[in-house]
Amino acid sequence: MSDEISGEGGRVRGFRLHNTAVPARPLETALYLVATPIGNLGDITLRALETLAGADVLACEDTRVTRVLLDRYGIQNRPYAYHEHNADEAGPRLLQALADGRSVALVSDAGTPLVSDPGYRLALQAIEAGYRVVPIPGASAPLAALVGSGLPNDAFFFAGFLPAKDKGRRDRLSELAEVPATLIFFESPHRIAATLASASDVLGGDRRAAVCRELTKTFEEFRRGTLSELAAHYEKVDNVKGEIVLVVGPPEAKETPEADVEAILADLSRTLPTAKAATEAARLTGLPRKELYQRLLDRKNAE
């Protein structure tokens, strides 16, 4: 990043949408975290375009990648590189821009900044220095994979990338095995077969999963099945291509012995109102809240 980060006063702030020029107003001083498309450039939001065009300073992981998006929408803002290899130099310059009263927009190569990228460090520094941090939501690979997987989405746990080595990968999977939620991982194409084999061994071959590849792109694919079925399929595929999100369904709820259910109900009924006791009992036992609520009422009536 050069000293020219101080700004480009002569540029036109605006973007083009279907050959129509749209002006963008200058932004208030803040760090704007702007979600960008994960593949299909049409998945950008109007608010994101306005932010990219209106920001005084635009920081990104790879200027070549971001330039493609800017050119698509006729945005003249010049991107500056901010990534894990230059953060010590670029970060203070961006913070100084904020100190000078300028607006700074941060984008990753694809998706939402701070999700498995170095933007977290800059956001934390900006918060600690007292500057506003404004999320500009949009495309997100973990959420796109989750909603397309067909797996439960009432609770989910994003775990990023698993360790590359087999032992570390298996240890991490063991830590996550009993998390009562759908698990979401990023994975590289050349490791997906090994990861599925490890996941099948550690989490159980019957656990439902989906390999979500090339999301929003021309060759988007959702391959669904059990972990053992997916592991067997990818073991035979020689040249997997594209970016991958692996989604693994939650573990099956373990049945709570009846004696334990009664003990839980008795304990909760002494300290909580009936409705809250039923909700907590359902969480602890996995049984339907309606059933537990009725049992609590029957207990009270019998007292």
φ, ψ for residue 246, nearest 5 deg: -100, 125
The 10s digit of each residue's pLDDT in 271-280 is 899 999 999 8
Q: What is the CATH number of the domain that holds 214?
A: 3.30.950.10
Token representation of residue 12: 């036109």
- Specify the number of domains making up the chain: 3
pLDDT at 248 over 70: yes
Span of 63-77, 87-101, 149-163, 240-254 with lowest mean pLDDT:
240-254
Q: Report which of 247, 244, 246, 109 is spatially closest to residue 188, judged by C-alpha positions.
A: 244
- CB-count exposure of residue 65 (10 Å: 0-12, 13-18, 19+): middle
Predicted confidence band of residue 252 (pLDDT cuts 50, 70, 90): confident
Over range 253-265, report the average pLDDT.
Answer: 80
* Average pLDDT over the chain, rounded to an integer: 92
* Judgement on whether residues 170 and 274 belong to the same structural domain of the protein: no
pLDDT-wise least confident of 60-74, 94-108, 281-295: 281-295
The pLDDT tens digits of the residues spanning 33-56 come to: 999 999 999 999 999 999 999 999
- Residue 20 predicted with pLDDT over 90: yes
Q: What is the pLDDT of residue 162?
A: 97
Q: Is the pLDDT of residue 121 over 50?
A: yes
Q: Are residues 239 and 204 in the same domain?
A: yes
Are 82 and 26 within one domain?
yes
> Which of 90, 118, 139 is where one domain is finished?
139
Same domain, 54 and 7: yes
Whole-model pTM: value is 0.80
Q: Within 10 A of 193 (CB to CB), how many other CB atoms are there?
A: 20
What average pLDDT does the segment 180-199 reach?
96
Q: Quick one: what percent of the chain has pLDDT higher than 70?
A: 95
pLDDT 10s digits, 1-18:
444 454 455 688 999 999
Specify burial of residue 20 (Cβ count, 10 A radius: 0-12, 13-18, 19+).
exposed
- Any idea what the Cα angle at residue 186 is, between residues 50 and 139, rounded to 5°? 20
The CATH number that applies at residue 47 is 3.40.1010.10
In-domain check, residue 13: yes
pLDDT band at 283 (very low <50, low <70, confident <90, very high): confident
**Burial track 161-171 (b if 16+ CB lie within 10 A, e otherwise):** ebeeeeeebbe
Across residues 115-139, what is the average pLDDT? Answer: 92
CB 62 within 8 A of CB 118: no
Task: Let me know: does 77 contact 58? Beta carbons within 8 Å.
Answer: yes
Residue-number span of the structural domain to which 122 is assigned? 3-139
Q: Which of 76, 77, 81, 112 is nearest to 94 (CA)?
A: 81
Considering the domain boundaries, does residue 12 fall inside one? yes
The yes-or-no verdict on residue 120 having pLDDT over 60 is: yes
